[in-house]
Chains A and B, each alone.
Chain A
């Protein structure tokens, strides 16, 4: 067992879980989006990205690419949210929908990362 691998798998799966949490809470109660959940998703995803830095294998670069996609989408959602909530009028339905759709896109990329992780693990020969 390799501690580095455990930490990496932990963060990848955590990123998916937190992201899913935010997405579901948004679907269930669009009027009270949880900022803390989005912030956590961004942080975990950033850490995932950094963890995959410097890995030159094909698998490593694909995971790095997908976690970069997650960063991009989630940060875009956060900026949109920040701008909307500080514009005075408050956040409206259309903006909530955009934030949620961005988070949904990130969810797909996160899911892909987990799938890649599982594929890589299954390729290990005992």
Chain B
């Protein structure tokens, strides 16, 4: 506020001095020029009357000539003063209006408003740097979860587009250069409510700068970074960036999962992509990718990642790239873009089962997919959509699986932020055997009726589930099975996925495991209805009925029954 106030004062200095000068000259002039009373005596106007007269003359109100009629000399002075005072008023008001439209002034005002909003935040919030496709998705996800966000982008157009969207918790936006650490401090990185910084600009180096600055300014905040270049990612990891998301590597991992363990892929896919579904055909999702011959068109970051991860798991991978020497492609690489039939035939498309269009040009990728489909209609097509908007074209081109790097990054980031246990589950679930995975998938399908499940986390502490904690503290053991399944209320049944106890996580805990205070349990169940543990966490009567089998309805009998149960234990 003080800044704006001083800025205004500085700008209106000249008009103010002009006004003071004009008024004082006019007033002093009025006192000096002699007038004549009706009696014919000479008189001099006092300062009081002179100032009074000049005040209404200057604003052109005009109450007339007081206290006596003016002489011609006085009138000519007044004439002069009227014009000078009107001009100085116009000048003053003009300067003020110009100031209001002034770029510097508007900037100061918007900065001030931004800072004010930041200091008003009293809930945990995240700073999102870069409001591109990825930033937009993350922001929408966080806003829908009711988490406050602060968005910073260099381009004011993107920030203004933010204002037009209708969000549940409106984000606080600022147009600023995020590579300047001062802007991070402006955005409230030092405030205790700041939970993390998400750097998802399209420039890796900018993301790196943000990560360094955030960790130096406030080591406590979580830093989540998008990084597409391996070197930069290593650099980020070296100073403790918490989460580094490389969309190409992540996608290559998914492809590997889809090839080697399609069931597990399906389960993980349910849990990761709860915010925006992946573009994948159902057939492919159920059967997984064939392990035969693969063709990759374009040997960039995605192509390299896929080759590295999948080379051992499939029969053969043929690379097509326009410049194999510069991109350091393997020896048997075919030179070309992969958009024309000749190159694809040379790569042996007749015998291939999977073709991946992985170049950084959407038009080329589309062309590759269409040509491949013409040459071999039953081939499985995987394409990289560099722009989110082109996703539509790829699904029209009958592409079975589309990689949208923005949504890959956004889903990863949102899962890390809002559901830490899901991240743990994904990490440890690779250790599950084929049978266990199949069993889990069947269980989930049985509970949800072949629909996508939702996950939910039960936190056993006095804040989140007081009644359940009291129940356990009352020396009544409750097992995971009792908490998640019940034959009498089968609608809310769910499946335990992961138990976190004293920092150690256990995937697929057994139903006989007894819960302790301080545990965290990840469960999944059908979408849209309250799950059994959600009911139980804060309902002592329901716990009594379902867990202790207290079937009495009348309160007195219930109480008596409960006492008897207690004494038995």
Task: Give B465-493 interface residues, CB cut-off 8 Å to A.
Answer: none
Q: CB-CB contacts of A55-83 with B at 8 A, as 1s and 0s? A: 01000000000000000000000100010
* A39 surroundings in chain B (CB, below 8 A): 24, 27-28, 31, 47
CB distance from B25 to the nearest CB of A (A): 9
* A35 surroundings in chain B (CB, below 8 A): 31, 46-47
Closest to B3 in A: A56
CB distance from A65 to the nearest CB of B (A): 14
Q: Are A54 and B47 in contact (CB under 8 A)?
A: no
Task: Give B13-33 interface residues, CB cut-off 8 Å to A.
Answer: 13, 16-17, 20-21, 24, 27-28, 31
Q: Are B48 and A50 in contact (CB under 8 A)?
A: no
Q: Are B20 and A46 in contact (CB under 8 A)?
A: yes
**B120 at the A interface (CB under 8 A):** no
Q: Are A85 and B46 in contact (CB under 8 A)?
A: yes
Q: Are B48 and A53 in contact (CB under 8 A)?
A: no
Prevailing SS type, chain B contact patch:
helix
Number of interface residues of B (CB under 8 A): 18
CB distance from A22 to the nearest CB of B (A): 13
Which listed residue, B7, B21, B28, B31, touches A54 by the CB 8 Å rule?
A: B7
- Compute how far the CA of A56 lies from the CA of B9 in the bound complex, rounded to whole angstroms: 11
A56-B6, A85-B48 given as contacts; is B28 within 8 A of A50 (CB)?
Answer: no
**B564 at the A interface (CB under 8 A):** no
Q: Are A86 and B48 in contact (CB under 8 A)?
A: yes
**A108 at the B interface (CB under 8 A):** no
Q: Are A50 and B16 in contact (CB under 8 A)?
A: yes
**B568 at the A interface (CB under 8 A):** no
- Compute how far the CA of A56 lies from the CA of B7 in the bound complex, rounded to whole angstroms: 10
Closest to A54 in B: B10
Q: Are B24 and A43 in contact (CB under 8 A)?
A: yes
Q: List 7 A-B contacts (CB under 8 A).
A: A36-B31, A39-B31, A43-B24, A50-B13, A53-B16, A54-B11, A85-B48
- Compute how far the CA of A14 lies from the CA of B16 in the bound complex, rounded to whole angstroms: 19
Q: Are A36 and B28 in contact (CB under 8 A)?
A: yes
* A50 surroundings in chain B (CB, below 8 A): 13, 16-17, 20
* B10 surroundings in chain A (CB, below 8 A): 53-54
* B24 surroundings in chain A (CB, below 8 A): 39, 43
A residues whose Cβ falls under 8 Å from a Cβ of B: 35-36, 39-40, 43, 46-47, 50-51, 53-54, 56, 78, 82, 85-86
- Compute how far the CA of A98 lies from the CA of B272 in the bound complex, rounded to whole angstroms: 82
A39-B47, A56-B6, A78-B47 given as contacts; is B13 within 8 A of A51 (CB)?
Answer: yes
* B21 surroundings in chain A (CB, below 8 A): 43, 47
* A86 surroundings in chain B (CB, below 8 A): 46, 48
Q: Are B48 and A43 in contact (CB under 8 A)?
A: no
CB distance from B49 to the nearest CB of A (A): 9
Q: Are A82 and B9 in contact (CB under 8 A)?
A: no
* A85 surroundings in chain B (CB, below 8 A): 46, 48
- Compute how far the CA of A54 lies from the CA of B12 in the bound complex, rounded to whole angstroms: 10
Closest to B48 in A: A82
Known: A43-B24, A78-B47. 4 other contacts (CB 8 A): A46-B20, A54-B11, A54-B13, A85-B46
Q: Are B47 and A82 in contact (CB under 8 A)?
A: yes
Q: Are B48 and A51 in contact (CB under 8 A)?
A: no
Q: CB-CB contacts of B268-288 with A at 8 A, as 1s and 0s? A: 000000000000000000000
Closest to A42 in B: B24
Task: Give B259-310 interface residues, CB cut-off 8 Å to A.
Answer: none
Q: Are B47 and A47 in contact (CB under 8 A)?
A: no
- Compute how far the CA of A46 lies from the CA of B20 in the bound complex, rounded to whole angstroms: 8
- Compute how far the CA of A47 lies from the CA of B19 in the bound complex, rounded to whole angstroms: 10
Q: Are A53 and B13 in contact (CB under 8 A)?
A: yes
* A56 surroundings in chain B (CB, below 8 A): 6
* A51 surroundings in chain B (CB, below 8 A): 13, 17
- Compute how far the CA of A43 lies from the CA of B7 in the bound complex, rounded to whole angstroms: 23
- Compute how far the CA of A50 lies from the CA of B11 in the bound complex, rounded to whole angstroms: 11
Closest to B7 in A: A54
Which listed residue, A40, A47, A53, touches B9 by the CB 8 Å rule?
A: A53
CB distance from A84 to the nearest CB of B (A): 11
- Compute how far the CA of A46 lies from the CA of B31 in the bound complex, rounded to whole angstroms: 20
* A54 surroundings in chain B (CB, below 8 A): 6-7, 9-11, 13
Closest to B15 in A: A50
CB distance from B358 to the nearest CB of A (A): 57
* A78 surroundings in chain B (CB, below 8 A): 47
- Compute how far the CA of A69 lies from the CA of B10 in the bound complex, rounded to whole angstroms: 20
Closest to A56 in B: B6
Which listed residue, A36, A40, A47, A82, touches B17 by the CB 8 Å rule?
A: A47
* B17 surroundings in chain A (CB, below 8 A): 47, 50-51
Closest to B47 in A: A35
CB distance from A67 to the nearest CB of B (A): 13
Closest to B6 in A: A54
Closest to B27 in A: A39
- Compute how far the CA of A43 lies from the CA of B28 in the bound complex, rounded to whole angstroms: 11
- Compute how far the CA of A51 lies from the CA of B9 in the bound complex, rounded to whole angstroms: 10
CB distance from A69 to the nearest CB of B (A): 18
CB distance from A9 to the nearest CB of B (A): 16
* B47 surroundings in chain A (CB, below 8 A): 35, 39, 78, 82
Closest to B32 in A: A36
* A82 surroundings in chain B (CB, below 8 A): 47-48
- Compute how far the CA of A37 lies from the CA of B47 in the bound complex, rounded to whole angstroms: 11
* B9 surroundings in chain A (CB, below 8 A): 53-54
CB distance from A5 to the nearest CB of B (A): 15
* B48 surroundings in chain A (CB, below 8 A): 82, 85-86
* B16 surroundings in chain A (CB, below 8 A): 50, 53
Pairs of residues from A and B, 7 with the lowest C-beta to C-beta distance, nearest first: A54-B10, A53-B9, A43-B24, A82-B48, A50-B16, A54-B9, A54-B6
Closest to A79 in B: B48
- Compute how far the CA of A86 lies from the CA of B48 in the bound complex, rounded to whole angstroms: 9
CB distance from A64 to the nearest CB of B (A): 9
CB distance from B157 to the nearest CB of A (A): 33
* A46 surroundings in chain B (CB, below 8 A): 20
